Amino acid sequence: MDSIMHASVLIILHEGHKMLQVHASEAASWKALLGFVEQQWQARFGSLLPPLDETKRIEAFFKDEGDYLIGKVDVSEIRQQIEDQDSNVPDAGEQVRI
């Protein structure tokens, strides 16, 4: 039975930062994006306090500089290829003739 397997991709382009990350969920990508914004906030805005609302904080951070994308991707085919390759790998302790 074929099953669809998704992953979440986070892309950040901001002032020389080029980041591509793959996460298990969109929530994990969002958390990573928020972490990036929190790390970079002071460098970008100095002593200005960030908005308490996470969405507004991210919108303010990227308002005139940079961009980000969180996307959902289907990795089912890759999963199948990995499983096919794993079936050709001997189990630990199994002898292999070369």
Question: Locate tokens 């901001």: which residue?
Answer: 14
The arithmetic mean of pLDDT across residues 50-79, rounded, is: 91
Is pLDDT larger for residue 84 or for residue 12?
12
Domain residue ranges of the chain, discontinuous segments joined by +? 6-87
Q: pTM for this one? A: 0.74
Give residue 5's pLDDT band: very low, low, confident or very high (50, 70, 90). confident
Rounded average pLDDT over 36-44: 95
On whether the CB atoms of residues 10 and 58 are closer than 8 A, the answer is no
User: Is the CB of residue 2 less than 8 Å from the CB of residue 79?
Assistant: no
Please state, rounded to an integer, the average pLDDT across all residues of the chain: 84
In this prediction, what percent of the chain has a pLDDT beyond 70?
79
Closest CA to 57 of 72, 75, 77, 39: 39
